[in-house]
Structure 1
Amino acid sequence: MRASHRTTMKICFCLLIPLFSIHAARAQERVEAGVELDVLPYLTGGYFGAAWVGKGHLRTRALFARVHMPDFIVRDGFTNNTIRSYALLEDYFLKKEQTGFWLGGGLVLWDGKIQTDQQLETASYQTFLLNGSMGYIFNLSQRFYLSSWAGLSLRVGGDRHIPVDTKTFDPPLLDPELSVKFGYRF
C-alpha cells in the first residue's frame, strides 16, 4: 500500500473514532445484533453479507460484497468490472428501536478487476471511498425486516489511470447506489 493510501485511511479512521466511542458511552441500553443480505449483488451474479451491532440510535456495520457491474454502468470501451467491496459503516436511527429512517456513513475499500471490450487482459485496481447512505427499515416481524436504501460513495484514494490493453481506466469519482436489504435481528 502506498504512503498516500495509508495516510488517507488514517485520516478517515480518525474521523470515525468519535462515532464509535458513542457506543461505549451508552452502556445502559440493550445491545442488539443482526445480519443482512443485499439484493443488488445477487442480481449481478455476486454476493453480499453484513453483520451489525448497535445500541439505541446507533449501529455499526461491517460488510463484504462481490459485484459484477452491469455494462450499462461501466464506461464505454470497458467490460467485466468486478468489485470486491469491504466496508465499515456507522448508522444513526431517528428511533432508538432501530427502525424507520436512518442515515449512515463510513469507509469502503474496493478491490476491482476490469477488461476492455477486446478482453485481451485483465487489470486490477484498488479504490478507497467515503460512503454516505440513507434508508428506511420496514419491520416484517419481530426479527425480520426490509431496508430500502440509497447511497453515494466518493473516491478519496487508490489507483487511478489504470492501463488496460491500449486504454486507460479511471474509477469514477462518485458512485451512486440503490438497493434493498433483507435483515434478521438476533
Structure 2
Amino acid sequence: MKKKFFFFVVIIALSTTVSAQLKTVESTCSKSNFASQTDSITTKQTVGIAIDLLPPIMSATTGNLGYSAQLWYGYRKFRVRGVIAGFQMPDQLIGNDDFKDLKTTATALIFDCFKNNNFEGWWLGVGFEMWDKTISSKIDNKAYDFKDYAATAGSGYIFKLYKNFYIEPWVAVHYVLNNEKVSVGTTEYKTKKIQGEVSLKVGWHF
C-alpha cells in the first residue's frame, strides 16, 4: 500500500512538472497557431479518473476479484496517467498446462497526446509498466513470484456521454523488456515478449 501511495505522489509531482514545461512551450507559440485550430478550447487543464473494465471482468471469469484505477492530469492536448490494476488470468490463457493461478498487479506511467482539444476524440500514448506476478506450479503446488518490465504504446478514442463523463475504447501493445522466468523441473513459464490488449474504460474529469 505504501508503494502504491508513493507511486501516486510521484504522478502528481510529475504532472506539476509537465504542466510547467507545457506552459513554457505554449508561451513560445503564436496565438494565430491556436486560432487556426478547428476545435475551440473549453477545457485547458483538468484532472480525471477512470476505471478499466478488463481486469475485473477477466478476474470474474476465474471466480476472483479484479480492480483498475487511473488518475490523470491533462493540459491542452497532453495527458499523463498513473495506473494501478490487479487481476487473475484464466488458466486456459497461460499457455503452459503445468502452471495455474497467474495473478498480476500492474503499475504504469503513460504519456498521451490528443488529436483534438478538450480531452476527447483520438489519442496516442507511450509509457512504461511494471508487472508484479505470482504463478502456481501444478508439479510442486508452490507459488512463485517474479516481475516483468514492459514498454507500452496504445491508442484510443474518448466519447463524451454527458458533460465530462466519458467512455474510452482503447488498444495497446506491450513489449516485455526483461527475460525473467519460472522453472520447475523440466518445464518453465515466462511472459510472452509481445502482448496485445483491447478494453473499455469509463471515466470522468473536472
Band the TM-score falls in, shorter-chain normalisation:
0.7 to 0.9
The SS at the match of 1:112 is: strand
Query: Which of 165, 172, 181 pairs up with 2:192?
Result: 172
What is the CA deviation profile of residues 143-163 of structure 1, one whole-angstrom value per residue up to 9, with x for unaligned ones?
210000010100012x52312
| Kept after mapping to 2: 8 A contact 1:79/1:116 | yes
Query: Which of 82, 101, 104 pairs up with 2:103?
Result: 82
Which structure: greater strand fraction? 1
In structure 1, the gaps of 5 or more residues are 1-16
Which structure: greater helix fraction? 2
Bigger Rg, which one: 2
The range that moved more, 26-35 or 105-114, is 26-35
> Matched residues in 2 for 1:53 and 1:99: separation?
14
Tell me the TM-score normalized by structure 2: 0.75
> Matched residues in 1 for 2:108 and 2:18: separation?
19
Q: How does 1:92-171 map to 2 (within 5 A)?
A: 92-118=113-139, 120-157=141-178, 160-164=180-184, 167-171=187-191
1:119 and 1:60, CA in 2 relative to 1: closer, same or farther beyond 3 A?
A: farther
Larger RCO (CA under 8 A, 6+ residues apart): 1
| Kept after mapping to 2: 8 A contact 1:52/1:62 | yes
1:119 and 1:63, CA in 2 relative to 1: closer, same or farther beyond 3 A?
A: farther
Total equivalences in the alignment: 168
Identity %: 26
Tell me the TM-score normalized by structure 1: 0.82
The aligned counterpart of 2:73 is 53
> Matched residues in 2 for 1:165 and 1:85: separation?
28
- Alpha-carbon RMSD across the aligned residues, in angstroms, is 2.2
| Kept after mapping to 2: 8 A contact 1:123/1:163 | no
